Structure 1
Amino acid sequence: MEFWRRRRERLRERGPSGLGLLPWLLMGLGALSHLLGGEAPNPWIGGLGLLAFNTLYIAVVLRAFVPRARETRLTRWLLGGLAALTFGLAIGYGREWLLLFPLLGLAVGAVVRRGRTLFRVTFPLVAGAGAVTFWRDGWDSFGVVYGTFVSVMVTAAILALNDTVRQLRETREELARTAVERERLRFSRDLHDLLGHTLSVVVVKSEAARRLAPHDLDAALAQVADIESVGRQALTEIREAVTGYREGSLAAELDRARDALSSAGVEPVVRRSGPLLEPAAETLFGWVVRESVTNAVRHSGASRCVVEMSGTDGRARLTVTDDGRGGGHGPGAAAPVADGPGSGLRGLRERLAAAGGTLEAGPVPGGGFRVVAELPVEAAAPGPDAGDVRAGRC
């Protein structure tokens, strides 16, 4: 049962083939009976013509279901030869031989499936078939003309619809692959930003606890408690990032940034003004604060870091500036992180660009490193001007 189920699925994916049009050759049995009955003149010519017709028909319909072969000039020549042979046999013999016209219609519909070419071919074919059949058999042959027209149009419609369904299936699969790739990229960015910041804070607080332990055990234990709190918060954020529902709060990120900078011995300064932000904009700016502060803590060797929010009703700006090694000297400088392949500030540039924003990062003349992020925002009431917030106030 499993074998047959898989076979049916493979056949469904492949779609129809030219083999489905071969049984219609049984319509030519009337012409064969006419030959064998001894009523047809020049039976040898008729027999060779019928054999050639069957051969050309099989070749055309099989090539019609191979996309590359269907569009070639050889297929068109074979179809033209089949049409010429059909008209010749119908004119020469009439009667049962007129049923070759519907077979020709099947071949035409299989090869010429859509567009203006289909109509340019169909109407001359039907008109020619009608002229020959009326001449040979009178009004009794109207069914042959109608059958020729229907065979062309129905075959073309069914096969064109099948092509459309196949293209839609391929498009759906491509969209699914694109969605998976985008989700992987989103998760990799979130995981980098989450773990990079969290591990940096853990390292800084661990170093602080190690330094304080010989002199002030209570302060060292407070640092250890902070490490536990940071770890628990990181677990929660990673779970939320995996499910795709994480929305960062800029105020919370500023609190974390202040705490991380203070623990690393860097003076935090926060200035916030400008319009209120939408949740999506706050989330993006929160990621910028997290990544920039993480880089400042890990790489810059700075003594002071300034985080400034400003903007107008149409555009908001976030600037993070430190006074560390902005020139990228040494293995821990901030500049290489900004150009890191596929992570860090490069990932943030892509996020902000997708939202219509920009991100610039680079050394500051005279020393230090600056990250500037901008986003378009809708008009809203201006937020409170916090002024300068230093050393633990945000």
Structure 2
Amino acid sequence: MEFWRRRRERLRERGPSGLSLLPWLLMGLGALSHLLGGEAPNPWIGGLGLLAFNTLYIAVVLRAFDPRAREAPPTRWLLGGLAALTFGLAIGYGREWLLLFPLLGLAVGAVVRRGRTLFRVTFPLVAGAGAVTFWRDGWDSFGVVYGTFVSVMVTAAILALNDTVRQLRETREELARTAVERERLRFSRDLHDLLGHTLSVVVVKSEAARRLAPHDLDAALAQVADIESVGRQALTEIREAVTGYREGSLAAELDRARDALSSAGVEPVVRRSGPLLEPAAETLFGWVVRESVTNAVRHSGASRCVVEMSGTDGRARLTVTDDGRGGGHGPGAAAPVADGPGSGLRGLRERLAAAGGTLEAGPVPGGGFRVVAELPVEAAAPGPDAGDVRAGRC
């Protein structure tokens, strides 16, 4: 049962095929009966014509369900030959042979499914079929003309709808794949930024504890306690990043930045002024502070790092400047892991660009390195001016 269920699902996804139009050839049994009854003139010619009609019909409808073959010139030539043969047999024999026109309509609808070409082909075909059938069979053949028109339009509508459904299904699958890729990129960015900062702080504090242990055991134990606190905080942030609900606080990131810089022997200076920020903007600026300070601690060899938050009611700016070696060794200098797509400042630049902001990084004349991030912000009440915050003091 499971096998047949899966088979039905695969067939439903594939949609109709050319085989679905082959049973309609039974409509030609009337012409065959006319031949076998000895009523048709030149039965050998009629028999060969009927065989050629069936062959061309099968070739056309099978090619009609292959997109590349359907648009190829040979399919149009085969369809033209089928139309010429249909008109020839209908004119020569009449009666039951007129039922070949609805079959021709099925083939036309399968090949020419939509657009102006469908109408340019359908109306001359119906008009020609009407002229031939009225000439051969009078008003009694009106059903054949109507059947020809319905065959073309219904077949084209059903197959065009099936194509649309298939394209929508493919688009949905592509959107699902894109969503998965975006989520993977988000997680890789968050994991890089989280672990890069946390491990840098752990390394700096471990070095500080090792240096202090021989001389000041209490201070060394305080550093060890900080390492434990940082580790627990990192676990919490990683869990939040995995679930996708992490919204960073800029104030919390500034506190962590002061602590990390102080532990690395770098004097932190924080100035904050300007409008209050929305949570999304605070999160982005928090990531910039984290990445810039992490790279400053790792690579700059600076003695002083200034983090300045400012702006107007329309735009907010975050600047991180150190007095280190510069030339690609400051906050903007990405560690080797940050060189890949979606990591480090490159990933932050993409995030800010998606929010309508910018991020620039480069050496400062005279030494040092500077990272400048800007974001458009909603007008809000101005935040408190924090003034200068040095060496961890608010």
TM over 0.5: yes
User: Per the alignment, do residues 100 and 339 of structure 1 end up closer, same or farther by CA in structure 2, a change over 3 Å counting?
Assistant: same
After TM superposition, give the deviation of residue 330 of structure 1 in Å.
Answer: 11
| In structure 1, distance between residues paired with 2:66 and 2:341 | 43
| In structure 1, distance between residues paired with 2:346 and 2:300 | 18
Q: Kindly provide the CA deviation profile for residues 153-204 of structure 1, in whole angstroms up to 9, marking residues without a partner as x.
A: 0000000000000000111111111111111111000000000000000011
- Mark the runs of 5 or more structure 1 residues left unpaired by the alignment: none
| In structure 2, distance between residues paired with 1:356 and 1:145 | 61
2:268·2:390 contact (CA, 8 Å) conserved in 1?
Answer: yes
TM-score (norm 2): 0.97
> Displaced runs of 4+ in structure 1, greater than 4 A?
329-341
Q: Kindly provide the CA deviation profile for residues 118-144 of structure 1, in whole angstroms up to 9, marking residues without a partner as x.
A: 111111111111111111111111111
User: Per the alignment, do residues 361 and 83 of structure 1 end up closer, same or farther by CA in structure 2, a change over 3 Å counting?
Assistant: same
Q: Kindly provide the CA deviation profile for residues 297-346 of structure 1, in whole angstroms up to 9, marking residues without a partner as x.
A: 11111111000001111110000011111123699966878756541111
2:325·2:369 contact (CA, 8 Å) conserved in 1?
Answer: yes
User: Per the alignment, do residues 175 and 242 of structure 1 end up closer, same or farther by CA in structure 2, a change over 3 Å counting?
Assistant: same
Q: Say which is worse superposed, 150-159 or 214-223, in terms of deviation.
A: 214-223
User: Per the alignment, do residues 334 and 49 of structure 1 end up closer, same or farther by CA in structure 2, a change over 3 Å counting?
Assistant: closer
Considering only aligned residues, what root-mean-square deviation do their CA atoms show, in Å? 1.7
User: Per the alignment, do residues 34 and 337 of structure 1 end up closer, same or farther by CA in structure 2, a change over 3 Å counting?
Assistant: closer
User: Per the alignment, do residues 336 and 370 of structure 1 end up closer, same or farther by CA in structure 2, a change over 3 Å counting?
Assistant: farther
User: Per the alignment, do residues 334 and 68 of structure 1 end up closer, same or farther by CA in structure 2, a change over 3 Å counting?
Assistant: closer
User: Per the alignment, do residues 272 and 377 of structure 1 end up closer, same or farther by CA in structure 2, a change over 3 Å counting?
Assistant: same
Q: Kindly provide the CA deviation profile for residues 10-68 of structure 1, in whole angstroms up to 9, marking residues without a partner as x.
A: 22222211000000000000000000000000001100100000000000000000000
1:325·1:334 contact (CA, 8 Å) conserved in 2?
Answer: no
User: Per the alignment, do residues 125 and 332 of structure 1 end up closer, same or farther by CA in structure 2, a change over 3 Å counting?
Assistant: closer
Give the secondary structure class of the aligned counterpart of 1:157: helix
| In structure 1, distance between residues paired with 2:99 and 2:334 | 82
After TM superposition, give the deviation of residue 9 of structure 1 in Å.
Answer: 2.5
Q: Kindly provide the CA deviation profile for residues 73-115 of structure 1, in whole angstroms up to 9, marking residues without a partner as x.
A: 1111110110111111111111100100000000000000001
| In structure 1, distance between residues paired with 2:275 and 2:329 | 37
| In structure 1, distance between residues paired with 2:337 and 2:147 | 73
1:300·1:332 contact (CA, 8 Å) conserved in 2?
Answer: no
Q: Kindly provide the CA deviation profile for residues 202-254 of structure 1, in whole angstroms up to 9, marking residues without a partner as x.
A: 01111111111111111111111111110111001001111111000000000
2:193·2:344 contact (CA, 8 Å) conserved in 1?
Answer: yes
Paired residues, what number?
Answer: 394
- Mark the runs of 5 or more structure 2 residues left unpaired by the alignment: none
| In structure 2, distance between residues paired with 1:144 and 1:328 | 81
| In structure 2, distance between residues paired with 1:108 and 1:337 | 60
1:317·1:375 contact (CA, 8 Å) conserved in 2?
Answer: yes
Q: Say which is worse superposed, 208-217 or 187-196, in terms of deviation.
A: 208-217
| In structure 2, distance between residues paired with 1:116 and 1:225 | 77
1:335·1:363 contact (CA, 8 Å) conserved in 2?
Answer: no
What is the match of residue 12 of structure 2? 12
User: Per the alignment, do residues 219 and 69 of structure 1 end up closer, same or farther by CA in structure 2, a change over 3 Å counting?
Assistant: same
2:332·2:362 contact (CA, 8 Å) conserved in 1?
Answer: no
What is the match of residue 141 of structure 2? 141
Give the secondary structure class of the aligned counterpart of 2:316: strand
After TM superposition, give the deviation of residue 3 of structure 1 in Å.
Answer: 2.4
